[in-house]
Structure 1
Amino acid sequence: MFGLFKSDPMKKLQKDYERKLEQAMHAARNGDMRANASLTEEAEALRAEIERLKAG
C-alpha cells in the first residue's frame, strides 16, 4: 500500500536520459559541438545505468 507513492527510479532515469539527448540535439543544431559531446556522454552514462537496473 505504501509503495504506491514511491517513485520509480527507472522512470526518472529514462526521463533524464531523454532530456539530455534533447539538449544535445539542440546544442548540435546551434553549432556547439563541445556541449553536444558532453551532453551525449552524460546521456550514455544514464543509459548504462538504466541497462544495469534492467539487468538486475
Structure 2
Amino acid sequence: MFGFLKQDPVKKLRKQYDAKLEQAMLAQRKGDMRLFADLTAESEALWQQIEQLQQQQS
C-alpha cells in the first residue's frame, strides 16, 4: 500500500558506489596508490551487490 515510501536499496548502493569512486579518484590524484586500490576494490564489491539486487528485481 505504501510502497512509494520505501527507499530503493539500489539507489542507496549506487550513491555509495559513486562516493567510493570519487574518493578513489582523489586518492589517485594525490598519488596514494594503495588507498586508490583499496577504494577501487570496495567500489567493485558495491557494484557486485548492485548487480545482484537488480537481477533479483527483474
Q: What TM-score does the superposition give when structure 2 sets the normalisation length?
A: 0.90
Instruction: List structure 1 segments (4+ residues) > 4 angstroms apart after TM superposition.
Output: none
How many residues are treated as equivalent by the alignment?
56
- In structure 1, stretches of 5+ residues that fail to align are none
Q: Deviations over 1:9-53 (max 9, x none)?
A: 000000000110000000000000010000000000000000111
Cα RMSD after superposing both structures: 0.8
What SS is found at the alignment partner of 1:26?
helix
Give me the whole-angstrom Cα distance separating, in 1, the residues matched to 2:10 and 2:41.
Answer: 19
Task: Kindly provide the amino acid, as one letter, of the partner of residue 15 in structure 2.
Answer: K
Q: 2:27 — aligned with what?
A: 27
